[in-house]
Structure 1
Amino acid sequence: METLNHLQWLAVLALPVLFAITVHEAAHGWMASRLGDRTAWMLGRVTLNPLRHIDPIGTLLVPALTFVLVGFLFGWAKPVPVVYRNLRRPRRDMALVALAGPGANLLMALGWGLVIEFGLWLGPETAWAALPLVYMGAAGVLINVFLMVLNLFPLLPLDGGRVLNALLPPSLALWFARLEPFGLILLLALLVTGVLGAILLPLVADTVALLPGARVVMELFFV
Structure 2
Amino acid sequence: MWNLFFHMHEDHYISLAYFFAMIFIFSGLHEYAHARIAYACGDVSVKNRVTLNPFKHIGLVETILFPALILYISDYQIIFGSAKPVPINIELLRRRGRDTMSAVLAGPGMNFFLIVTTLVVMIISKFFMTPKELSSSFLVNFLGNCVLINALLVCLNLIPFPPLDGFKAFCGFLPRWRFFIILDLIGILALLYVFWNYPQFFMTIMNDYVRPCWQFVWKCYFHFPV
Could you tell me the percent identity over the aligned residues? 31
Which of 215, 219, 222 is the equivalent residue of 2:218? 215
Write the mapping of 1:43-82 to structure 2, written as runs, cut at 5 A. 43=48, 45-55=49-59, 58-59=62-63, 62-63=66-67, 66=70, 69=75, 71-82=77-88
The alpha-carbon deviation at position 109 of structure 1 amounts to 1.6
Contact 2:163 2:183 in 1 (8 A): no
**CA drift at 1:72:** 3.6
For 1:140 and 1:150, locate their aligned partners in 2 and report how far apart those are by CA, in whole Å. Answer: 15
Please tell me whether residue 21 in structure 1 is matched to residue 38 in structure 2. Answer: no
Query: Normalising by the residue count of structure 2, what TM-score does the alignment of the two structures yield?
Result: 0.73
How does 1:159-198 map onto structure 2 within 5 Å?
159-166=165-172, 169-170=174-175, 177-192=181-196, 193=198, 194-195=200-201
Q: Describe the SS at the equivalent of 2:190.
A: helix
The answer to whether 1:87 aligns with 2:62 is no
C-alpha deviation, 1:63, in angstroms: 3.9
Q: Structure 1 residue 207: deviation in Å?
A: 7.8
5+ residue gaps, structure 1, are none
Report SS of the residue matched to 2:137.
helix
Residue 156 of structure 1: SS of its match in structure 2? coil
Residues 95 and 166 of structure 1 are in contact (CA less than 8 Å); yes or no, is this contact kept in structure 2?
Answer: yes
Q: Between Structure 1 and Structure 2, how many residues are aligned?
A: 212
Q: What is the alpha-carbon distance in structure 2 between the residues aligned to residue 84 and residue 55 of structure 1?
A: 21
**Residue 9 of structure 1: CA displacement?**
2.6
Shift of the alpha carbon at 1:61? 6.2
- State the TM-score, normalized to the length of structure 1: 0.73
1:166, CA displacement in angstroms?
3.8
Alignment of 1:125-204 (within 5 A): 127=133, 131-166=137-172, 169-170=174-175, 177-192=181-196, 193=198, 194-195=200-201
